[in-house]
Structure 1
Amino acid sequence: MVTERGLQVLRAIVQDYVETHEPVGSRSIVDRYAFGVSAATIRNDMAQLEDEELITAPHTSSGRVPTDKGYRVFVNHLAQLRPLTVAQRTAIESFLTDPADLDDLMARTVRVLTQLTGQVALAQYPSFARAHVTHIELVLLAPNRMLIVLVTDAGGVSQRVTALPEMVDETDLAVLRARLSALITGQAVSEAAERLQSLLDDGGTTDAVLRTLSSVVIDELGEFRQERLVMAGAATLARRGQDFRGSIHPLLEAIEEQVTLLRLMSEMEADAHGLSASIGTENAPFGLGEASIVASDYAAPGGTARVGVMGPTRMDYPSNLAAARAVARYLSRMLDEDEASR
């Protein structure tokens, strides 16, 4: 059983190792922290921490470094989130103010988070699965080409240009717009898709143009229901290569494919404050045993989603969690204000 002083020694080891990237010895702890005991006593505490597999010696006769289990104990019990500076808060607010649309807001979110932390920033899009279609617009670009715009009450916007099987004019356009609007406006995304699919399956129309448009809209509604992830800062992994015990290729593959990261972020368990962390070997089932992810929940019209950072296990957990939480709060506020203005 680790003593209270032993846990504080663990805190000192984590903080010093993250800061210096050098194994931490008992003498440096005595010199830097006011424990009021001898180096020999600190060595006994460190021996107990090593017995509990919270720290380990990378080399014979060297200092000690935290294990993944040690980082977990630190995050769960010892980490104190560091308040962001005025400059950092100002940067978040200025980055997230007046976005052009949801895509722009999400892109800005990960850009500012990677700037604050120096890590790969990740943000889940809000879920539009429970959103309702508020508007469909058809714009005739040419007699046989049309722009379809869909808008939901959760802020989702879809735009797609499609070729038409027949020539149409403005009179045809008005009829098509009215027909589609009557079917899907005010309906949940899933219900709207089902209505259009029934139109196609049950022979509700033989109009080739309407059938083409219905198929396109079904595809776009399907996109609303898919989970999406936006990222920034992948280049930081190359600069931090020395912080990883093995290859960074699994991380790069996860960034490229996204599916693994989406599943991992969705399965992370949040604490009472909406903060979550998945550390090192805890990510091994996802092929990311070399990395840690910390995240914060944010509120969106379709429910909650997460924003966070991914990097090596040797990361500044208190600062990264604080940055994720601050960005999540601003993001929640921006989405709430957008919803209120509709």
Structure 2
Amino acid sequence: MVRLSPRGQQILHAIVCDYLETVAPVSSKRLIERFDLGVSSATVRNAMAELEDAELLEQPHTSSGRIPTSKAYRYYVDHILTLRPLTSGELASVEAIVRETGDVSRLVRDSGRVLSVISRHTALVSAPSLASAVCEGIEFVRVASGKVLVLFVMSSKVLCSQVVEDEGEFTQEQLERFGRYLNPMLMGLTLNKVRDRIDTELDHERARFDEALAQALHLGATALAQEDAERELYVEGSVRFLDQPEFSDLAKTREVFRTLEEKRSVLRLLSAAMEGPGTQVLIGPELVVEEMHGCAVVVAQYAHAGRPLGSLGVIGPARMDYARVIPLVGYVAQVLSQQMERG
């Protein structure tokens, strides 16, 4: 664990602030000229040498200056950073998505759009996962020949609906009976528990002798399998990577874009939000996706009745304005959660 003296923290803070603004290697001369550090240039040089020994600074190939490492940003976020309140305009922009949006999927997508615009980074948002939402009922509705709409009504005010193939050509009356079979069995369970219960009942001897129950269970299981496969992810403003000097290398940028197009990779980036409350910050090698080790992700979960539904955040270079981005991500998640509560 890195331990810095107050002087070391002061110098590191100045270097990070300057580099965030200029994206240019920082020299001791630059620090003396720009910041009122109250020390000599020799003291600054010695402090910078100590920071480099601690792997908090590194020297680009041809420059006499130094730049912060991922380890430096981690220390900065954990020990030095002071968060900046959002401006009234930023608050209004976030709150506007609640006033203008009614549909849940559109609300989630618009949250990502606003997050990208205000942060000037790429935004990532996962659509609500109903894994921890509580089932309040299940309905089966004939929508066409060979097709049945399976509708799970959840406590989160979100409907989980899937159209599944139906070889049995059941009548609507039979489908309603299926719902009556399953509702007492599934009500009050989370969607994860619903999956477990359906799997258990399908293996149960009773399902072998009760054809209607078996058909109902099969329809429910098929719908849940499709819901897992079709969970939506929104990536807003991916082109903003092109605005960052760190990604002027086209090969590097191509790797980032390829990763953002992979649903599984984006879900892994967002999964950090589900590991704890509040806003999570992952920097460089802390990211589980190797292609993103030059980046940082700031993520938070949004919830209903204390149950996590999904997560949102921004991804950009490790040289990120954390003081501004962290409160922004937290506030968007808070507003989205409040809207989920209102239904």
TM-score interval w.r.t. the shorter chain? Answer: 0.7 to 0.9
Hey, what does 1:291 align to over in structure 2? Answer: 295
CA distance in 2 between counterparts of 1:155 and 1:269 reads 20
CA distance in 1 between counterparts of 2:30 and 2:274 reads 35
1:255 maps to 2:260: yes
Of 214, 217, 220, the match for 2:220:
217
TM-score by length of 2: 0.83
CA 1:7/1:190 → structure 2, altered by over 3 Å: closer, same or farther? closer
1:50 maps to 2:72: no
Hey, what does 1:321 align to over in structure 2? Answer: 326
Q: CA deviation at 1:113?
A: 1.0
Q: CA deviation at 1:41?
A: 2.9
Q: Deviations over 1:101-145 (max 9, x none)?
A: 332222122111111112221234555333322133333334544
Hey, what does 1:309 align to over in structure 2? Answer: 314
CA 1:11/1:255 → structure 2, altered by over 3 Å: closer, same or farther? same
CA distance in 1 between counterparts of 2:274 and 2:4 reads 25
1:333 maps to 2:330: no
Q: Secondary structure at the match of 1:278?
A: strand
Of 10, 13, 29, the match for 1:11:
13
Q: Deviations over 1:139-168 (max 9, x none)?
A: 333454433322211233122334433555
> What amino acid maps onto 2:271 in structure 1?
S
Q: Deviations over 1:37-65 (max 9, x none)?
A: 33333223222222222112214452221
CA distance in 2 between counterparts of 1:46 and 1:308 reads 33
> What amino acid maps onto 2:336 in structure 1?
L
Matched-pair contact (CA < 8 Å) for 1:189–1:224: no
Matched-pair contact (CA < 8 Å) for 1:164–1:212: no
Hey, what does 1:70 align to over in structure 2? Answer: 72
CA distance in 2 between counterparts of 1:161 and 1:167 reads 14
Gaps of 5+ in 1: none
Hey, what does 2:160 align to over in structure 1? Answer: 158
Matched-pair contact (CA < 8 Å) for 1:143–1:168: no
> What amino acid maps onto 1:294 in structure 2?
V
Matched-pair contact (CA < 8 Å) for 2:241–2:247: no
Q: Secondary structure at the match of 2:132?
A: coil
Of 115, 130, 133, the match for 2:132:
130
Gaps of 5+ in 2: none
After superposing the two structures, state which structure 1 stretch, 244-253 or 67-76, moved more: 244-253
CA 1:142/1:47 → structure 2, altered by over 3 Å: closer, same or farther? closer
After superposing the two structures, state which structure 1 stretch, 312-321 or 169-178, moved more: 169-178
Q: Deviations over 1:302-336 (max 9, x none)?
A: 63454221111122121111211111221222223
Q: CA deviation at 1:83?
A: 1.0
Matched-pair contact (CA < 8 Å) for 2:25–2:63: no
After superposing the two structures, state which structure 1 stretch, 109-118 or 236-245, moved more: 236-245
After superposing the two structures, state which structure 1 stretch, 46-55 or 311-320, moved more: 46-55
CA distance in 2 between counterparts of 1:284 and 1:270 reads 13
What root-mean-square deviation, in Å, do the aligned CA atoms of Structure 1 and Structure 2 show?
3.2
Hey, what does 2:101 align to over in structure 1? Answer: 99
> What amino acid maps onto 2:134 in structure 1?
H
CA 1:88/1:184 → structure 2, altered by over 3 Å: closer, same or farther? same
Q: CA deviation at 1:74?
A: 0.9
Of 38, 44, 58, the match for 1:36:
38
TM-score by length of 1: 0.83
Q: CA deviation at 1:35?
A: 1.5
Q: CA deviation at 1:223?
A: 5.6
Q: Deviations over 1:64-103 (max 9, x none)?
A: 2111111111111111111111000000000133533332
Q: Deviations over 1:223-255 (max 9, x none)?
A: 667886443222222333644777134433332
Matched-pair contact (CA < 8 Å) for 2:304–2:340: yes
After superposing the two structures, state which structure 1 stretch, 4-13 or 298-307, moved more: 298-307
> What amino acid maps onto 1:332 in structure 2?
S
Q: Secondary structure at the match of 1:296?
A: strand
> What amino acid maps onto 1:335 in structure 2?
M
Hey, what does 1:240 align to over in structure 2? Answer: 244
CA 1:269/1:34 → structure 2, altered by over 3 Å: closer, same or farther? farther
Give the share of equivalent positions with the same residue, in percent.
31
Alignment coverage as a number of residue pairs: 335
1:231 maps to 2:222: no
CA 1:295/1:257 → structure 2, altered by over 3 Å: closer, same or farther? same
Hey, what does 1:278 align to over in structure 2? Answer: 282
Q: Deviations over 1:250-275 (max 9, x none)?
A: 4333322232343344347978x723
